[in-house]
Amino acid sequence: MKVVLFCGGYGMRMRNGSEDMIPKPMQMVGPRPLIWHVMRYYAHFGHKDFILCLGYGAAHIKNYFLTYQEAISNDFIIRDGQVELIQSDISDWSITFVDTGPESAIGERLRRVRQFVEGDDYFLANYADVLTDAPLNDMIDEVKAAGAAASMMIVPPQSSFHCVEVNDAGSVTGITPVAQLPIWENGGFFVLSADVLELLTENCDLVEDVCGKLASEDRLYGYKHVGFWKPADTFKERAELEAGYLRGDRPWMLWEKADPESPPAPLAAAATPSR
């Protein structure tokens, strides 16, 4: 199943300042950028055909994959001056790079790449800056079983703030942590059918316009996930992911938990460790 990744926004909450030109999906978690972790998650479930909706910082993303270094995250052998990779991350991935503009809304980005997913009954989509341990194929199975036109992962509120109830006299009558409210947030993982493409209009928003219309027609499915889910919208969130990675707390890296008895990948010869 094809995977559309929206990775062309400015990511203002992640930037150090006006001189910081690195796009948010290229911020590092361990030795690899956020976008790699997202793509590796999809690939773990067998979905390896990616369409990148580029915009701001497109050159960073293009150059990263054009000069991809497999040896950074894979074991290898140097023998007679040649590098033999014991595993490979992306050798069986297909990645389509499409400039969708730095100012485009998410729905507009999807509209500009629709030619690459037309003809597919369903495809996947993601913001390229959120990590999770959700069982992706269960999510796909559920939306198909529900007969919905689309689904979005929904998660409990992540805010550490409190909601305050107050009466007309100004007296506080209740304080409730946001995380305990009976509401759900958009988790950023979408399963979309071909019907969604017919709802795309110029500069539309995927969630408010398209998903909002589907919800009003009872055609949008909400997949509830209460396990690990974490965005990287801010430096603080990215730093928390980095700290978790360094101490070995990496619940989103499901590929590390693969069956240890499965046979190793065949050796792949390479002339240099940079490809």
Report if residue 114 sits inside a domain.
yes
State the chain's maximal CA–CA distance in angstroms.
82
Whether 161 has a pLDDT exceeding 60, the answer reads yes
Q: Which residues pair with 82 in a beta bridge?
A: 79
Compute the distance between CA of residue 126 and CA of residue 117 in angstroms, rounded to an integer: 14
Give me the CATH number covering residue 53: 3.90.550.10
Residue that wins the pLDDT comparison between 260 and 102: 102
Q: What is the pLDDT of residue 9?
A: 75
For the chain, give the percent of residues with pLDDT over 90: 67
Residue 265, in any domain of the structure = yes
Question: Is the pLDDT confidence value at 270 over 60?
Answer: no
Query: Sorting pLDDT into bands at 50, 70 and 90, what band is 23?
Result: confident
Spatial CA neighbour of 87 closest among 268, 274, 227? 268
Q: Which of the four pLDDT bands, split at 50, 70 and 90, describes residue 233?
A: confident
Task: Kindly indicate the confidence band of residue 20, based on its pLDDT and cuts at 50, 70 and 90.
Answer: low
Please give the mean pLDDT across all residues of the chain.
Answer: 88
Please tell me the total count of domains within the chain: 1
> What's the confidence (pLDDT) of residue 94?
97
Confidence label for 141 from pLDDT (cuts 50, 70 and 90)? very high
* pTM, to two decimals: 0.85
Instruction: Say yes or no to pLDDT of 16 above 90.
Output: no
pLDDT > 80? residue 268 = no
Residue 227 domain-assigned (yes or no): yes
Q: Which of 59, 77, 56, 230 is nearest to 155 (CA)?
A: 230
Task: Provide the residue range defining the domain that includes 89.
Answer: 2-270
Q: Across residues 123-127, what is the average pLDDT?
A: 97
Question: Does residue 275 lie in a domain region?
Answer: no
Q: How confident is the model at residue 22 (pLDDT cuts 50, 70, 90)?
A: confident
DSSP sequence for 69-80: -GGGTS-EEEET
Measured distance CA(247)–CA(135) in Å, rounded: 24
> Which pLDDT belongs to residue 258?
66
Structure confidence at residue 10 as a pLDDT band (50, 70, 90): confident
Average pLDDT over every residue of 189-206? 96
* Predicted pLDDT at 263: 39
Q: What average pLDDT does the segment 170-186 reach? A: 83
